């Protein structure tokens, strides 16, 4: 009988509970013992865990967030913490540890696995910016929410003949903004991958008014940098992984647009609404398949690997491929969105 542990790290994300449930069901089918560490890497460092059985995962499939809790704890921030992970694995006689997370959690998982720890990764993030998988779970839900919000904002933009700037999550990659912008018919889409001046942005808005459209919806990623200005951040200090804590570019942009064009402009921040609530059917199914496959990888001893969606298949890829570089929006996808700016 094997003993496996799991953790959920980084920002919470719809579909995490589907993964946890998938792991527990698949592991129990093998007759294995499962524990879940609380609050990401923090729980491992403190050896704080709960026993997981079929009863503990009953009815969690449609629930957002994570029953294990999460944190942005970095096991490589303080000297000696990485060795504490090894001690916790040893103390609990774990045959494997499944780390469910995004670039930071899996980056740490990769380093720990290079140091000989039996780790398997599961790719999670609403940003969909992890390489080596077609999709991460959570993205589809966030995209659906952002699209619905753009639809709702549009009615106010139209009624008041305003420019409505909508700030959407996406730290380094603008996937949610790009695809919700396309799906929600945004008039300008601004992503971290492509910087632009306020004059260029206003140029599109003026052009739209000139052809008789008297309102505009601008979809902007929180990580978008206005050309010629500093990146707008919500806090001065970065997080434990050194990332800027973003927020505020929508508001900044709205002020600049109003000043330059004279059009009445408002901004809305979607923020954590995009990460909250029940996952879509797609994310529930993807999360479930990832969880079940992660147990299969433990069975096969494929440590240092991550489960991944490749076309219709769930496969194993080396963690190194997932964490090397982020999957950002390619130029041709952005060009497609730009078709609708004029
Ligand atoms: O990584 C996912 C994400 O939602 C990013 O889009 C965003 O920048 C960040 O997390 C926000 O993190 P927090 O929940 O710590 O504010």
Question: From 3.90.1300.10, 3.40.50.450, 3.40.50.720, 3.40.50.10300, which CATH number describes the 3-138+279-323 domain?
Answer: 3.40.50.450
Domains 3-138+279-323 and 141-275 share a fold: yes
pLDDT bracket for residue 242 (50, 70, 90) = very high
As given in the structure block, the two tokens for residue 311 are: 């076309």
Question: pLDDT by residue (tens digit) across 115-146?
Answer: 999 999 999 999 999 999 999 999 999 999 99
pLDDT bracket for residue 162 (50, 70, 90) = very high
pTM for the complete prediction? 0.97
Report, as an integer, the average pLDDT of 252-264. 98
CATH superfamily ID and name for 141-275: Phosphofructokinase domain (3.40.50.460)
Cα 181 to Cα 68, 89, 220: the distances in Å are: 33, 44, 9
Supply the residue whose CA is at minimum distance from atom 16 of ligand 1. 245
Map out the domains of the chain as residue ranges: 3-138+279-323, 141-275
% the chain with pLDDT above 70: 100
Strand order, beta sheet including 119-123: 49-52, 33-37, 3-8, 96-101, 119-123, 305-310, 313-318
pLDDT bracket for residue 342 (50, 70, 90) = confident
The alpha-helical segments, DSSP class H, found in the chain are 16-29, 41-45, 81-91, 103-114, 139-160, 175-183, 198-210, 249-261, 281-300, 319-323, 331-338
Distance of CA 67 to the CA centre of its chain: 18
- 202 vs 179: CA distance, rounded Å: 22
Q: Is 332 one of the annotated active-site residues of the chain?
A: no
Contacts of 230 (CB under 8 A, 6+ apart): none
The alpha-helical segments, DSSP class H, found in 92-138 are 103-114
Q: Is the CB of 124 under 6 A from ligand 1?
A: no
In the reported structure, the alpha carbon of residue 243 is separated from the centroid of ligand 1 by a whole-number distance in angstroms of 10
């Amino acid at each position: 009988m094997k003993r496996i542990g799991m953790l959920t790290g980084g920002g919470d994300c719809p579909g995490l509970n589907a993964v946890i449930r998938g792991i527990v069901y698949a592991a129990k089918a093998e007759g294995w013992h499962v524990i879940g560490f609380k609050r990401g890497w923090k729980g491992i460092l403190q050896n704080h865990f709960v026993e997981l059985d079929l009863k503990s995962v009953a009815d969690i499939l449609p629930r957002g967030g994570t029953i294990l809790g999460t944190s942005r704890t970095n096991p490589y921030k303080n000297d000696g913490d990485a060795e504490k992970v090894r001690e916790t694995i040893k103390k609990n006689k774990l045959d494997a540890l499944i780390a469910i997370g995004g670039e930071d959690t899996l980056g740490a998982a990769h380093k720990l696995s290079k140091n000989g720890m039996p780790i398997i990764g599961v790719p999670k993030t609403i940003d969909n910016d992890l390489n080596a998988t077609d999709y991460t779970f959570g993205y589809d839900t966030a995209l659906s929410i952002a699209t619905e919000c753009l639809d709702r904002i549009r009615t106010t933009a139209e009624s008041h003949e305003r420019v409505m700037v909508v700030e959407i999550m996406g730290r380094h990659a603008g996937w949610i903004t790009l695809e919700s912008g396309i799906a929600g018919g945004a008039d300008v889409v601004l992503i971290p991958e492509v910087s632009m001046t306020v004059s260029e942005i206003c140029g599109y808005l003026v052009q739209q008014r000139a052809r008789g459209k008297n309102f505009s919806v601008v979809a902007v990623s929180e990580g978008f940098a206005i050309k010629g200005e500093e990146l707008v951040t919500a806090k001065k200090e970065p997080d434990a992984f050194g990332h800027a804590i973003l927020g505020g570019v929508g508001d900044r942009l709205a002020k600049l647009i109003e000043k330059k064009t004279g059009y009445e402009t408002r901004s809305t921040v979607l923020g954590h609404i995009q990460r909250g609530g029940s996952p879509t059917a797609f994310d529930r199914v993807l999360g479930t398949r990832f969880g079940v496959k992660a147990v299969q990888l433990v069975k096969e001893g494929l440590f240092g690997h991550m489960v991944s969606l490749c076309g219709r298949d769930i496969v194993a890829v080396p963690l190194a491929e997932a964490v090397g570089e982020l999957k950002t929006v390619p130029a041709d996808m952005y060009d497609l969105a730009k078709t609708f700016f004029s």
